[in-house]
Amino acid sequence: MTKTWIPNLGSQDGERLSGRGSDSATVARAYDAISATYDYWVWQNFWRANEQPILAPLLAQAARNTCLDVGIGNGAYVPIHRSLGYKLSGLDISSGMLEQLKMRHPSVPAVLGDATRLPFHEGRFDTLLCARVLSHLSAPVDFFTEAFRVTTRGATILVADLDSEHDYQSISFRGLKNPRSPIFPFKHALSEVLSAAEAAGLTLSSCRQFGYADLEWKPPPHQLPALDRSSARPIFYVASFRHN
Ligand SMILES: C[S@@+](CC[C@H](N)C(=O)[O-])C[C@H]1O[C@@H](n2cnc3c(N)ncnc32)[C@H](O)[C@@H]1O
């Protein structure tokens, strides 16, 4: 069910769904607590198998010079950035995740900061990646405004996240050492995300939603019971924007 995005969610749905997210301090503490064991989380296997093969060719098509990975976590995308020859910088709100990043990839400049207040000067990057961070932000437009500011004209901005149509209400790190209570996402409808990017001055290049039938790795039900296996709804989306 790979499909090019069709505007099928009204803003009313978006407003109803996006009202209940955890604040950024709570999100940072939750990631700090599980940072050492994050790679053992079954969802991380899911993203490695299903999201990375989609984003890697998009990263390869981009400028391949300077890249900012916003919400870099422990550096899941670093091997891909490296293989493409990017001069990479990473930013994350969780000091625990950044410690893991530094242990694995000590040469990557790692900055503690917020996706909505990027501590970089104008036009610094020609590629920007933001994988699964928007659902932690109350107002995606704040991120896109910053993404526009810190990128150069012609830059590519790649965004991926769980789709708001997927039936999940919280993110719980079950099975990991030191999990905290679940954190709550902001379920922004894809239409809201695209409008926010446009409002910040970015132009949509491509956007796709991916459902169960599209998955490279279909995890068995006992591993990810909450996954929507009906293919009726998208599970995640990947969007590419241009700073014109
Ligand atoms: C689902 S993880 C994804 C990590 C990484 N992008 C990957 O692909 O593995 C989300 C990451 O975003 C970070 N994050 C959450 N809210 C943030 C914010 N407001 N600003 C910067 N990073 C944030 C978290 O600390 C976490 O490392």
DSSP state of 204: E
Q: What is the mean pLDDT of each run of 10 residues along the chain (244 residues)?
A: 36 42 93 93 94 98 94 98 97 98 98 98 98 97 98 98 88 78 90 98 98 94 88 94 98
Q: What is the second-level CATH architecture of the domain 3-242? A: 3-Layer(aba) Sandwich (3.40)
Could you tell me the CA-to-CA distances from 100 to 27, 31, 134 in Å, in that order? 17, 11, 21
Mean pLDDT score across all residues of the chain: 90
The pTM for the full model equals 0.92
Q: In what order do the strands lie in the sheet with 66-70?
A: 3-4, 203-210, 236-242, 151-162, 125-131, 66-70, 87-92, 110-112
Pocket test for ligand 1, best of 29, 92, 135, 161 (most atoms within 8 A of CB): 92
214 within ligand 1 shell (Cβ under 6 A): no
pLDDT value at residue 53: 97
Answer yes or no: is the C-beta of 92 below 6 A from any ligand 1 atom.
yes
Instruction: Answer for the pair 154, 242: CB distance below 8 angstroms, yes or no.
Output: yes
User: What is the pLDDT at residue 46?
Assistant: 95
73 CB near ligand 1 (under 6 Å): yes
The atom number, within ligand 1, closest to the CA of 43 reads: 1
Quickly tell me which residue has 């950035």 as its tokens.
81
Residue 73 CA: nearest ligand 1 atom is: 27
Helix or strand or coil: residue 35?
helix
Residue 19's pLDDT is 52
